[in-house]
């Protein structure tokens, strides 16, 4: 079993979900670090037999070549969070966890490619991320594990197999990219067809299978007010699908950083950050 973690996704969640914590000597922020470590340890405990790997975003991504608007609605990451990323990656490696990062590629494509690679080799995969785009990866060997919303963290984590994806979204994993292309994805600034939400998009895909089928039958769509919208949005829909589709990549060996478990260095790093409870937890977990 492999547990593949969307690292950037969970660091963002940790940063916004934790109170502001800082080191007393210089004010260095530590809230995201604390939240990340707690989440990583929780996932490690829940999947004790799994090989854990983490995937990080790079500074640029290929999708901007398709659309300058892609993710243009996102504000720059807060400086306090950016300052913590190098430390988070270092701590993760000292826990013995390997990671992937490649310039020009988003973590989503790296993670999806690794998931398909493992599944093709007969392995079982759980993808941990709040990003619903990963539902398109779900198959007989790949499940998606989504955390509760940050606004209500006490809710349960949800695990999605093929049946759960269809129940939640009303479409199959193979239709997820078309589904997101039709209704849009506000988190990535992908603008869909005005007035078409998830229920309508799922109904059309159930009837006509994919975007091409919907375009071919746009004169039959309900409500009638959408028929001309779809006809005029043919190229937009196809571009949207390119933007939201996760692409299989040949993973470069240089994209992988091997984790090297080092309990002493890990504990010392936590102590230098004045994170005493994490230092104690590291000793309990890793010291022999």
**CATH label of the domain that carries residue 114:** 3.40.50.1010
Tokens, residue 219: 């004169």
What is the per-residue pLDDT for 61? 56
Mean pLDDT of 90-103: 96
Query: Does one domain contain both 39 and 81?
Result: yes
Give the residue numbers spanning the domain of 187: 173-244
Predicted confidence band of residue 76 (pLDDT cuts 50, 70, 90):
confident
What is the per-residue pLDDT for 131? 93
Query: Does one domain contain both 94 and 161?
Result: yes
Query: Does one domain contain both 33 and 128?
Result: yes
Task: Return the higher-pLDDT residue of 60 and 179.
Answer: 179
- Give Rg (Cα) of the chain: 21
Predicted confidence band of residue 105 (pLDDT cuts 50, 70, 90):
confident
Tokens, residue 261: 């478990």
Tokens, residue 154: 């006490």
Tokens, residue 46: 């829940």
With residue 277 as reference, give the H or E element that holds it.
helix 276-286
Distances 261 to 51, 168, 275 between C-alpha atoms, Å? 14, 39, 19
Q: What is the pTM of this model?
A: 0.92
Query: Does one domain contain both 160 and 221?
Result: no
Query: Does one domain contain both 166 and 180?
Result: no
Integer Cα distance of 126 and 161 in angstroms = 10
Query: Does one domain contain both 79 and 159?
Result: yes
Q: What value does the mean pLDDT of the chain take?
A: 92
Mean pLDDT of 179-198: 89
Query: Does one domain contain both 126 and 263?
Result: yes
Q: How many structural domains does the chain have?
A: 2
Query: Does one domain contain both 128 and 256?
Result: yes
Q: Is the pLDDT of residue 63 over 70?
A: no
With contact defined as beta carbons under 8 Å apart, do 127 and 115 qualify? yes
Percent of the chain with pLDDT over 70: 94
With contact defined as beta carbons under 8 Å apart, do 198 and 176 qualify? no
Closest CA to 262 of 132, 73, 94, 148: 94
Integer Cα distance of 281 and 122 in angstroms = 34
Integer Cα distance of 158 and 41 in angstroms = 18
CATH code, domain with 179 = 1.10.150.20
Query: Does one domain contain both 146 and 100?
Result: yes
Query: Does one domain contain both 16 and 154?
Result: yes
| Domain end call among 226, 244, 262 | 244
Q: Is the pLDDT of residue 68 over 50?
A: no
Q: Is the pLDDT of residue 36 over 60?
A: yes
Chain-centre distance of CA 148, in angstroms? 14
Predicted confidence band of residue 218 (pLDDT cuts 50, 70, 90):
very high
Query: Does one domain contain both 181 and 209?
Result: yes
Q: Is the pLDDT of residue 223 over 70?
A: yes
Query: Does one domain contain both 178 and 93?
Result: no
**Considering only 131-140, 150-159, 229-238, which range has the smallest mean pLDDT?**
150-159
């Amino acid at each position: 079993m492999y547990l593949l973690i969307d690292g950037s996704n969970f660091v963002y969640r940790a940063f916004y979900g934790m109170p502001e914590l800082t080191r007393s000597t210089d004010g260095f922020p530590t809230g995201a670090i604390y939240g990340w470590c707690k989440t990583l340890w929780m996932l490690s405990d829940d999947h004790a037999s799994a090989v854990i790997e983490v995937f990080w975003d790079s500074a640029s991504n290929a999708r901007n070549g398709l659309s300058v608007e892609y993710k243009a609605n996102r504000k720059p990451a807060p400086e306090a969070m950016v300052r913590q990323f190098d430390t988070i990656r270092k701590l993760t490696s000292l826990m013995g966890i390997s990671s992937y990062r490649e310039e020009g590629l988003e973590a989503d494509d790296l993670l999806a490619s690794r998931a398909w690679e493992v599944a093709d080799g007969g392995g079982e995969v759980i993808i941990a991320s709040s990003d619903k785009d990963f539902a398109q990866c779900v198959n007989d060997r790949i499940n998606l594990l989504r955390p509760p919303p940050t606004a209500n963290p006490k809710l349960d984590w949800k695990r999605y197999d093929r049946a759960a994806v269809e129940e939640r979204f009303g479409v199959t994993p193979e239709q997820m990219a078309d589904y997101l292309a039709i209704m849009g994805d506000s988190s990535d600034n992908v603008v869909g067809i005005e007035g078409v939400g998830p229920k309508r998009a799922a109904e059309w895909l159930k009837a006509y299978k994919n975007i091409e089928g919907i375009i071919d039958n746009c004169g039959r769509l309900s409500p009638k007010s959408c028929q001309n919208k779809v006809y005029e949005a043919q190229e937009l829909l196809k571009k949207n699908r390119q933007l939201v589709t996760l692409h299989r990549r040949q993973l470069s060996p240089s994209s992988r950083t091997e984790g090297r478990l080092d309990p002493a260095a890990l504990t010392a790093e936590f102590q230098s950050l004045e994170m005493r409870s994490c230092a104690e937890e590291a000793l309990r977990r890793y010291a022999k």
